[in-house]
Amino acid sequence: MSTDPAELARLDVVGGLLADRLGEPAWREARAELIAGGKSNLTFRLTSAAGTVVLRRPPTGSILPKAHDMGREARVQQALADTDVPVAPVLLAHDEGATGFPFYVMAQVEGHVVRDELPTGFADDEDSRRSLTNALVDTLARLHAVDPAAVGLTDYGRPEGFAGRQVRLWTRQWEQARTTDVPVVDELGASLARRVPEDGGASIVHGDYRLDNVVMDTGDPGRVAAVLDWELSTLGDPLTDLGLLLFYWRAPGDRRMSLIPHLTADAGFPDRRHVRERYAATAGRDLRDLAFHEALAHFKFAAITQGIAARVAAGAMAGQDFGDLTDEVARTAEDGLDILREGT
């Protein structure tokens, strides 16, 4: 299976489509580069004399049901384009007819994607890191405030019974992705199924909201330039986004995980309590069921991690390798169970 970025991005086809859509013949001579860090959908930077754009496509090989939906990613970004939620403009979207896989192309938004370390000179003091944290949380609250009907997304999901369906969905994803028995993951799933809360309101949810899925303004740490990676977005309970953000928001003393940056702990960002309180104040939401959603985030990540391990083993991640993830799956589930017990 090829790992050549030009072949994986089908530049022989996409270059011509871009040239026609944008009126720039230079796209027929484009170059492709796999952007490091893509563990699910594959993301490529396409460059030509006409500029730089970004292409998103599913991973190669077989994929799990309801995952890697490029049409949904493109649609939600187009719907949010005229709101105060910053997104990258979508330039081109196609089904698999042209290339053999669905894909879309968006403008490249200039800024910092902060993952393992802070760029030199960026957010280099306590105040600016607090500003960055507040901007990240406030952007999430603004997303949750968008009326789906006002942006043509009333049919984008089924918010009624969302939490229960999430538990069932990720239970299926886990069962389809696992290659060996991990009892603690099964226990977490069963515990969540017994603790499903009542519906907590409906909003557009991102589904994978975290620091390295946004672009930060290079000149202003207190401004998010664009929110990226919308593959898991839908309509549902907004606390699922907050629960996942808190999962990724590492704190001193947390176990280090190979797939999650530890930057927020190492660099002295505000703690999880600050994130919770900032969201509650900005969004005006009741957080009484948050422990369930934090534990659900752990369950989801255990299933996602196992899915990544399975795709790496099958050679379907464009040559990327993240090491042995078995222990990480179990540890993630154990931490989720601890949160449920503490929240009882």
Q: Which DSSP string corresponds to 57-91?
A: EPPSS---TT---HHHHHHHHHHTTTSSS-BPPEE
**126-342 shares the fold of 5-107:** no
Give me the half-sphere count of Cα atoms (radius 13 Å) on the Cβ side of residue 50: 18
Q: What ranges do the domains of the chain cover? A: 5-107, 126-342
Of the candidates 285, 299, 329, the one whose C-alpha atom is nearest the C-alpha of residue 196 is 299
Q: Are 169 and 236 in contact (CB under 8 A)?
A: no
pLDDT tens digits along 217-260: 999 999 999 999 998 899 999 999 999 999 999 999 898 888 88
pLDDT tens digits along 252-290: 989 888 888 999 999 999 999 999 999 999 999 999 999
Confidence at residue 319, expressed as pLDDT on a 0 to 100 scale: 47
pLDDT bucket at 212, cuts 50 / 70 / 90: very high
Structural tokens at position 257: 């995980």
- Please state the pTM of the whole predicted model: 0.89
126-342 has which CATH code? 3.90.1200.10
First to last CA, the chain: 48
Ranking 63-72, 295-304, 317-326 by mean pLDDT, the lowest is: 317-326
pLDDT tens digits along 304-329: 888 877 766 665 445 454 555 678 89
Please write down the long-range contacts of 324-327, taking CB distance under 8 Å and 24 or more positions apart: 325/258, 325/259, 326/180, 326/182
**Cα–Cα distance between 267 and 261 in angstroms, integer?**
11
Confidence at residue 133, expressed as pLDDT on a 0 to 100 scale: 98
CATH superfamily of the 5-107 domain? Phosphorylase Kinase; domain 1 (3.30.200.20)
